[in-house]
Amino acid sequence: MRNLIATFYRLPLTQRLNKVIPAKNIYHLRLRNIIIILITVIILACITLNNKLRSENDLKVVNEEKNSRQGDWQIVWEENQEQIWDGSGPVKGLKFMVYSAYLDENNERNVIRIIALTPTKGMLPNFFCHLFTGDDKTGVIPFGEPFPAIIEHSGYSQYLYGGSFILCPIMPHLTLRNTTKPYFLALSPIREKFDGRRILPVQKIQRRRTSRENVFNFQYHFAICVQPTYRYDSVLELMEWLEFHRMMGVTHVTMYNISMGAHVSCLLRSNALKKNLDVLVLPWGLPIPSKQVHVNGQVAQSNDCLWRYRGVANYVLFLDFDEYLVPNYTHAVNYAQLVERLKTVPVDEKLNRSLPVAQFLFRSAFFGKDLAREFGTRRKLALPSTDSSEKLRLDDLITFTRTERQSFMYPAKVRSKFMSIPNQVIEPGVHYLERSEPRSLGEVQVSPEEIGFVHHYRDYLCGVRECSTLKKVTDNSAHFWVAGVLERTEELWKEVRKECNLGLEMLQS
């Protein structure tokens, strides 16, 4: 018997099937299996397509009302000839794009500073600045003669496009400051002609006398600039992030939106949020592929946000939604106290401490979301809401559950973030100061880090094997604020949840 069984299993599969199943039925069996596989593939494809369409439908761009401080990218000139770029081969029609324009009269400068994206390769054409004044009734009227523009690049030349300043020097006999008239600007490579459909409003900046303490009594004491958002819809995490920084003293946030989910869009439009915090959402529709510019044009975005807050905010933090500037509570419990503590931070002996600081640089560390030890069980959003009595709890806060971080802290200027004094900065940079006003102290690195550093809640940059041996430490310093953050987030949650159709459910283990 054993020999018969062994002989049977040594036969090829088709011969075994012929002995068990009649040959005429094998064909039908195979045909049935093929049909089942095809139906399964079609169903999975339909589900995937439906989820993609639903996701794209949810990712709506939030556009606030247009005014002189808002806009979107405009292509002011596109070359006809083909250019060679090593990153993606030939590129047709290099573009010159502008976003906003600011009147810069600081330190005896008299220019209009344009936030732009320009090619980093090849010969650049000369541009002329066409200045206008007027209103809706009279239309735009030329103001003075066209004058040559100056292009200043801001690094990252490995990409096809880079963030730039285009400077339009104003003739000495022209005065823009002491007038209530609005001014507009057009760029053109032709002195005698311009495109009237592509005109930028020129934003005037409030001037204040500088002081050693850098306190100007502007509209906002602390504000935040957020890098361009892409497919972002973590509404509960955004609530926590907003309420933490509001507790720190932040009263205004500026975001640049490529795409964000419907629930985040609803939150940002809600009256419940607006009554406690001013949030400005600007469109950031880049007219070029993202691979052709550094991180969605982050250099240009930082420049625009810095100049947008000139004459408006005393201090501006540059952070992302997963980053928290957390002070050591033994030194400061909010940013106002942190600034007072920073005035005593030691600086290089070669620097003149009597000059005003332009920017404070903070180091950062990862609080890994993949391997971090958690307290309790975090929950996720369930849509739509089903239980009107459900409440938030500490387990829902990242600042409470994520307490393990890498012991290694990134050195200064690597993944660092900063707090800028807008009136002392020309170009803030991405991870460190690029350029400050001539009569300023420049950038001060906050050291020791015990005064405060950036908590970056994201996955570790390591593989499974490397992560298992990664040195980590427990850091629950953010727990000092979690009770207050929970109370504020819960209050916001109650008001927004019905309007935005939000709910909670337990995370699946």
Scanning the structure block, which residue is given the tokens 């079609």? 42
Contact 395, 377 (CB under 8 A): yes
Which sequence spans correspond to the domains of the chain? 74-203, 220-506
pLDDT for the residue 346: 76
pLDDT for the residue 375: 43
> Concatenated DSSP letters for 240-251?
HHHHHHHHHTEE
| CATH topology classification for 220-506 | Spore Coat Polysaccharide Biosynthesis Protein SpsA; Chain A (3.90.550)
Q: Is the pTM of this model over 0.75?
A: yes
Q: What are the E-state strand segments in 16-169?
A: 74-78, 82-85, 89-92, 95-104, 111-119, 128-135, 139-142, 147-148, 150-153, 161-169
pLDDT for the residue 214: 47
| 134 DSSP β-pair partners | 140
Residues in CB range of 86: below 8 A, 6 or more apart: none
Cα dihedral 439, 442, 448, 454 sign: positive
pLDDT for the residue 56: 43
pLDDT for the residue 14: 54
Contact 400, 394 (CB under 8 A): yes
* 3-class SS letters over 332-351: CCCHHHHHHHHCCCCCCCCC
Low-confidence stretches of the chain (pLDDT beneath 70): 1-29, 46-71, 79-92, 107, 135-140, 173-179, 206-216, 348-351, 370-389, 463-465, 504-509
